[in-house]
Structure 1
Amino acid sequence: MNVVFLHGLAGESRDFSEVAALLKGWRVITPAIDYFSGKFVSLPELAGQVAEELPQDLDTAQSLVVGNSLGGMLALALAGRFGRVLLAGAHIRTQSGFVGRGRKMLHTELGRIFHDPSLLTPEQVARYEERWKQFASSRELVRRLKPLKRMLGEFCGSRLYQEHQDRIHLVCGESDSISPVEVCRELQAAYPAMELTVLERCGHAVPLEQPKALADVLNKEWRALAKKCLPLEPSSAKFFSSMVTETV
């Protein structure tokens, strides 16, 4: 089975490493996405650029795409190309407000992203601190946030939800304060062919907070998709992880 993981604005490809390690026999593809490149004018255009960098031998119709946070909107934009689409802690409708750039605000933001920031490893905290420092020291990155917010506001997924609801699975953390679970329930009610899974003790960073639960959902999706179009068992597929060239 093939799976493509799309990280969010504050994330990176290795956010999915724990999930990938649990997917025995899977081909795992983790593109590095440059949200600050300035080389696109809409989220669908960025999604198309990411798709162009995927391995040419990848049969997307028999693959899963998983998007976390803003990566979820890229996954939604690519819904017509993939067999199944998992929006895992996706940026469905943000409750985000202004975020300051000081160290104190970093820990405030971690509290909004994670169900329990105290469970983060020292390495994970250090990674977030490093990314925060890079962001805080760059006026250029701060300047590029405005058009990204505009693109997110302009991206109307209602047509895509309607058209592809039978292949979309919403995976929401019960403590997600950025895209609250209530929003996921409203969306699933509006498009009832969607599946909805709510994870306990989980916030917005689903792949980092509940890797096993997400892997279990993916294995379930594999079995469902295999019945439709794939005669192979997961153990017969070759596993490898591919870091796709960053969009420029």
Structure 2
Amino acid sequence: MEYIIKEEKGFKYIEEGKGDVLLLLHGLMGALSNWEKVIEEFKDRYTIVIPMLPIYDLPLLTTGVKTLSKYVHKFIKFKDYQQVTLLGNSLGGHVGLIYTLSHQEYVKALVLTGSSGLYENAFGGSFPKRESYDFIKEKVQFTFYDPETATKELIDDVYATVNDRHKVIRILAMAKSAIRHNMGKDLNNIKIPVSLIWGKNDKITPPEVAVEFNELLPNCELNWVDKCGHAPMMEQPKEFNIFLNKFLQKNNI
């Protein structure tokens, strides 16, 4: 399904539906299409908003998770949202955590899936060999429990990205920033409701990461998705949406 990307005041974003705002944050290699099934399921009851994070547009010296968090705040202020429910996958979850720590009054609840912030095994522990299509294919498949989830279109997108020198330098800078910015000591300060929806077979942020998040976040629930890797909203969207819906209903969102 094609969605209109709006462009206003330097922001690019998708905005669909009506109601309370669900603000979706994509990962480092994530595309807006990653959230397609969430948009379809919830747009009749909520305003679904996906800002395009400017991962490739920042000056190299300021490329990092904190800068993306500041960008999210500028976007929320620009849209005049009073309170949002943040959903973040992978790097997007990490950005959501940093944002929530600084601006808890703007966040009703937080949903993390395959979030970085404590530990991640980016690119399967190895540097992206830029020229090798087969290597990139293998690493994209590594993201999922079922390798077939990695469509040719997805692999082609990642291959094009890591073969763009400008982009790959920023990907590596952002990944290093995420590793440096460990959230372990700060999570007890996040008091709002948090739902972890985690792939039981996630090899990038393995199950023990979710267990640790659950222990450190004071108001948290942990939901496991079977036969699922790093992106449950893509690989097992039905189960993801069931957990998300229950969480939203439980917290009167």
* Fold agreement, TM-score > 0.5: yes
2:55–2:171: 8 Å Cα contact kept in structure 1? no
Percent identity over the alignment is: 22
Q: In the alignment, what sits opposite 2:8? A: none
Contact 1:19–1:212 (8 Å) recurs in 2: no
Once the two structures are superposed, the pairs formed by residues 46-125 of structure 1 within 5 Å of their partners are 46-54=68-76, 56-60=79-83, 63-79=84-100, 80=104, 81-92=106-117, 93-96=119-122, 97-98=125-126, 99-101=128-130, 102-120=132-150, 124-125=151-152
Q: CA RMSD in A?
A: 2.0
Residues 1:134 and 2:154 aligned together: no
Per-residue deviation, 1:41: 4.6
Residues 1:36 and 2:56 are matched in the alignment: yes
Give, in whole Å, the separation in 1 of the partners of 2:183 and 2:217: 12
Residues 114-139 of structure 1: CA distance to partner in whole angstroms, max 9, x if unpaired?
A: 1102245xxx4213313312321x22
Structure with more relative contact order (C-alpha pairs < 8 Å, separation 6 or more)? 1
Distance in 1 between residues matched to 2:199 and 2:188, nearest whole Å:
23
> Are 1:218 and 2:231 counterparts?
no
- Secondary structure in 2 aligned to 1:30? strand
Cα distance, 1:107 vs structure 2? 1.9
TM-score, scaled to structure 2: 0.79
Equivalent residue for 1:233?
Answer: none
Counting only pairs closer than 5 Å after superposition, residues 133-172 of structure 1 correspond to structure 2 as: 133-136=160-163, 138-172=164-198
For the structure 1 residues 172 and 36, does the alpha-carbon distance in structure 2 shift closer, same or farther, using more than 3 Å as the test? same
| TM-score, length-scaled by structure 1 | 0.81
The alignment of Structure 1 onto Structure 2 pairs a total of residues equal to 221
Unaligned runs of 5+ in 2: 1-19
Which structure 2 residues correspond to residues 202-217 of structure 1 after superposition, within 5 A? Answer: 202-217=228-243
Unaligned runs of 5+ in 1: 231-248
Q: 1:129-153 CA distances to partner (integer Å, 9 max, x unpaired)?
A: 13312321x2222222332133112
